[in-house]
Amino acid sequence: MALDPGTIRDDFPIMCRQVHGRRLVYLDSAATSHKPRPVIDAVTDYYERFNSNVHRGSYQLAVEATEALEEARRKVANFIGASRDSEIIFAKNATEAINLVARTWGRANLGPGDPVVITELEHHANIVPWHMLTAELGIELRWIPIRSDGHLDLTDLDRLLDGARLLSVAAVSNVLGTINPIRQLADAAHEAGALMMVDASQYTPHLPTDVAEMGADFVAFTGHKMCGPTGIGVLWAKSELLEEMPPFLGGGEMILNVTKEGFSTAAVPWKFEAGTPPIAEAVGLGAAVDYLSGLGMEQVREHEVALTGYALRTLNQRYGDDITIHGPTEPAERGGVLSFEYKGIHPHDVAQVLDRSGVCVRAGHHCAKTLMRVLGCSATSRASMYVYNDESDVDALADALADADVFFIE
């Protein structure tokens, strides 16, 4: 059954509020999604009923808190088709998850001249950790270029992967919306003897995720873009890799034993979760996963394709040559992220004018400055959609856009 955004909106308390006396038209879910009532309640419930530290106390509250954390891990594992719960590492966000791989697997396995391959459409979270390893270890960073239609240019893939140790790619571009051919890339990486990491931050909230189908070795995503709380992200990795990888941060929770001479590490996944984990946040993410599963990820994706198609048609029909929407033109080939330029007006000014009508879009480089250089601009306006958006939100965007003319078009 198709999603009904009208009913879904009722699940999101923030949708009741007004902005500048207007209805909230939230089109920035690629930055962060709103939270449905069951997620907010789960976090509150945790603090009200069984707040305590995990994996330590022998009292009832601690047992319940530990069970809640591990239950959240099970839910996330099921949601992405992980074969074991212990393959789910809780991190602060996707950025930390990617850094975890760079700092542990990378440091243990990479040396001077070892190639790591990324693409021109990566978020800074999947660029800077590798730049840091270039500075530290002298690895070689290689870039898969993008074509003008927003898809990756795979013409030279074999050459780029020659000798590579890791291919790390966003499943969906946070700027262009491009859905990358992850399975094809993973197979090519493996054929070349490289591992495959997927930044699924813009994928897992919007499409059914199956890590086995992706063919990946590492998958990173974040909770707050998929109806969950901030402060909780996920690294999924194959068990055999996690077993071999050295720990990430050192401290409590990640140890088996500590002496004056040294330490031994706890089992996976706790080996990578030093310190008190984000328990309430993990519980909230578990509730978010339940919520999305209740909607059905196939339906979430169908809704996104339909709404993206409507948005592309509406904006193009209404504004023609006055608007440039970057990225693939086919809704089936893209997520619900629309980066656009309107009449040469700077995106900050566009976003400022839209705000007056309660329309929230992001303006800037979207943490993808290398991609901006390829696109030949310093910034874009970006409207991004989710389960609570419908055609009326697209119409509100289209209507408010014309207001920019008053100030900027003579």
What residue ranges bind other proteins (CB under 8 A)?
20-21, 346-349, 352-353, 356, 363-365, 369, 372, 378-379, 407-408, 410
Q: What angle do CA 101, 274, 116 make, to 5 degrees?
A: 5
- What is the three-class DSSP state of 378? coil
Annotation marks residue 227 as catalytic: no
Choose the catalytic residue: 227, 360, 367, 377.
367
Nearer to other proteins, 397 or 400 (CB): 400
Distance between first and last Cα of the chain: 48
Nearer to other proteins, 140 or 349 (CB): 349
> Which runs of consecutive H residues, i.e. helices, occur in 274-342?
279-295, 297-319
Taken in order 87, 90, 91, 94, is the CA torsion positive or negative? Answer: positive
- Shortest spacing between CB 378 and other proteins, in angstroms: 5
Nearer to other proteins, 309 or 364 (CB): 364
CA distance 410 to 402: 13
Beta strands at 25-26 and 359-360: parallel, antiparallel or unpaired: parallel
- Shortest spacing between CB 141 and other proteins, in angstroms: 21
CA distance 89 to 270: 8
- Tokens standing for residue 206: 């919007």
Nearer to other proteins, 256 or 409 (CB): 409
- Shortest spacing between CB 407 and other proteins, in angstroms: 5
The Cβ of residue 19 has, within 10 Å, a number of other Cβ atoms equal to 15
CA distance 71 to 54: 12
- Shortest spacing between CB 17 and other proteins, in angstroms: 14
Nearer to other proteins, 283 or 371 (CB): 371
- Shortest spacing between CB 116 and other proteins, in angstroms: 24
Catalytic residue annotation? 367
